[in-house]
Amino acid sequence: MNDISIRVTGRAGRITLDRPQALNALTYDMCLAIEDALDRWANDTSVDLIVVDAAGERAFCSGGDIAELYATGKAGDYDYGRKFWADEYRLNAKIFSYSKPVVSFMQGFTMGGGVGLGCHGSHRVVSETSQIAMPECGIGLIPDVGGSLMLALAPGRIGEYLGVTATRMSAQDAIFAGFADCYIPQHLWPDLIAKLEDTGDAAILTPATLAPPASELQEHQAHIDALFDGETLGDILNNLRKDDGEFARETLKKMERMSPLAMASTIEVIHRLRGPSLTIEKALDLEYRFTYRAMEHGDFLEGIRAAIIDKDRKPAWQFADMNVPLAATGKMLRPLGNAALTLENTR
């Protein structure tokens, strides 16, 4: 496959995304190829760890390739998208619980589906160029690919803020929020990858890891916690509108570009996940309830039209006044019964 290189080099199973012209956006076939490789290497005693990286300087992975999702959805075929998401989520869960170290090197943009690929491994490396985000609300989805798990685990109310604003995290912000582990200058990466291939030992990352610069997100946490302490989207909007500071105004401006239904559902999902019973399986199940319905009942197709197809940046969202009834989020997140997500490989 031209879009991805999968091989064994030394002691490492190697996965390199190779679509730099498309910011290494993840296609359905790439997802399946990665899963097949992980399955092969799980019991291969010659492979000690997995190293995931990407070609080009601009992006590790900018997200999922959504052109086919849009085309099939507009034609009234919702099953393709449902299968795509189910198979992608199975891969996310597999990376999260993989029996061997998974080391990801995330330069430039890591967004959406890229987070699902790069941020569930055991060793998540970022650099001075890294920008990590969950921008799904901007196209009518909720943060998925297991991203809701990390948002629920983020400090304070940082998860709600990141989920509904699509704010891009620097390397230091991503480490603070729980999306990354190791800050290593990018010029050191080629030698480190060669050593990982040679030794099969992820511990060699430790001496190269530096203390990251101060996190701007951390500096704003107290303010974010106060603004986002509401139970619903409406509560949070009321807090933001009462605050006449620049940060609140900028936050509102970001949220005004997002799907209100997706934002309200994002907040509900994060709140449901918090607590001692949080698992990747629970997060993916809730995400799939929404994405399963996103084309037929949500704002997904309109979000893609406005952002990618017509590029007019003027989506006609449902609940454009941002008054989202609780019944609307309840409809998007109710159990799917026999259609519920299964993480067993049925291919």
Catalytic positions: 64, 113, 136, 144
In whole angstroms, what is the distance from residue 86 CA to residue 65 CA?
15
C-alpha angle 112-114-117 in degrees, rounded to nearest 5: 120
14 contacts 48 by C-beta, under 8 angstroms: no
In the sheet that holds 109-111, the strands lie side by side as: 59-61, 109-111, 131-133
Helix (H, G, I), strand (E, B) or coil at 135: coil
Question: Hey, what amino acid is at 289?
Answer: R
Q: Which two tokens stand for residue 263?
A: 């934002």
Sign of CA dihedral 114, 120, 121, 123: positive
- Which residue, chain included where needed, has tokens 């799907």? 259
Q: Which long-range contacts (CB under 8 A, 24 or more apart) does 210-215 make?
A: 210/183, 210/184, 210/185, 211/183, 212/171, 212/172, 212/175, 212/183, 213/170, 213/172, 214/172, 215/170, 215/172, 215/173, 215/175, 215/176
Q: Which long-range contacts (CB under 8 A, 24 or more apart) does 121-124 make?
A: 121/50, 121/52, 121/95, 122/98, 122/202, 123/181, 123/182, 123/202, 123/205, 124/179, 124/180, 124/181, 124/182
Write out the H or E segment, with its range, that includes residue 102. strand 102-106
Measure Cα distances from 253 to 99, 164, 165, 166 in Å: 43, 11, 9, 12
**Residue 337 contacts by C-beta under 8 Å, 6 or more apart in sequence?**
none
Cα 246 versus chain centre, distance: 28
**DSSP for residue 20:** G
